[in-house]
Amino acid sequence: MISIRIQQLTKRFGAVAALDGVDLTIAAGEMYFLLGPSGCGKTTLLRCLAGFYEPDGGRILFGDDDVTRVPPHRRNTGMMFQSYALWPHLTVAENVAFGLEERGVAKPEIRRRVAEALESVRMGEFGARKPNQLSGGQQQRVALARALVVRPRCLLLDEPLSNLDARLRLEMRGEIRRVCKEFKLTTVYVTHDQKEALSIADRMAVLDRGHVLQVGTPAEVYRRPACRMVANFIGETDFVAGRVTGVTAGGVTVDTALGRFDGVPGNPAQPLAAGASVVLSIRPECWRLQAEAPARNGIRGRIGAAVYLGEMAQYEFVAAGQVLKIVELNPRSADGARGELFATVAPEDVVVLAD
């Protein structure tokens, strides 16, 4: 179990800076996610950690060891790819044993460790099968066992569940977290699936165009996005433009076309002053619909469209010419014909971001 430190890491492809001075610290045993849109640099960063790319500047440390220029086979990392990369002509056990054979491990030790690895991913009885005799989820477990059997210093996962259907993805999320925690592995996991990250990450970093925009726990990043891009990328949100009219120790008052809102700053390191142009980020599930006008943080409007989804109802709420997304949890129905209503939101759910 090791920590990973990434210091001012830079990687260029021609004129494009895929990574531009990235700094990250990943704690020993942590399950750390890298998220962001296509081209943000997350896969490039993972490949630098694996040693497949040599950075143009900066350092990578595994514990106290500087591995920036160390070749991949000497880093002792486990890697899982988008494609399972299993040898079709080898059995499950032979696929898992491959890395140990390459390292010259004795055959009795190989048999013992392969059996242990397959048992850890609940595939102990499938050792004699070929990959084409397995389901997608089973192949993913074999790929995980192959990565674990070499006893890596850290585990690197590149969108490992993207080829699975929704049900298997849900099942394998929990399995990957269980195995990583059981083996006390420092894990770096690349994905574009926000639900995947929110459900199993210890912490996450959101990247865009080679820069780290925000680092935090899933709850911190979801509830307090530091900028508009993070708010828009992680989950759904309503954006409302406004101007700051007052700032207190822990809050911000903003005037908008919909009315006045009290909220909280998304990025405390970026002070907001009276008169500043800002945008409010409000998650759809944070709104509450009611018949009476609230004392504050309320807007008057009507429901333009309603969709009933069982566990929730989704509404389009039209106010002052703007359409907001509102989610009602555990609804009796989705009633779109209720006439004039008020939508209100708690100040702690109104995140004020620099425009």
Contacting residues for 104 by C-beta, under 8 A, at least 6 apart: none
Residue located via tokens 């790819």:
81
| Strand ranges for 191-330 from DSSP E | 203-208, 211-216, 238-247, 252-256, 259-265, 277-282, 288-290, 298-308, 312-319, 322-329
Condensed to tens digits (0 to 9), the pLDDT of residues 123-143 reads: 999 999 999 999 888 998 898
Report pLDDT for 163. 77
**Residue 169 gets which letter from DSSP?**
H
pLDDT > 80? residue 42? yes
Q: What is the pTM of this model?
A: 0.89
Q: Which domains, and CATH codes, for the chain?
A: 4-223 (3.40.50.300), 237-354 (2.40.50.100)
Percent of the chain with pLDDT over 70: 99
Report the helix count and the strand count for the chain, using DSSP H and E: 8, 20
pLDDT in tens, 325-355: 999 888 877 776 677 899 999 999 999 999 8
For the stretch 91-112, pLDDT in tens is: 999 999 998 998 889 999 999 9
What integer pLDDT is reported at residue 167 of this predicted model?
A: 80
Rounded Cα distance, 310 and 272, in Å:
41
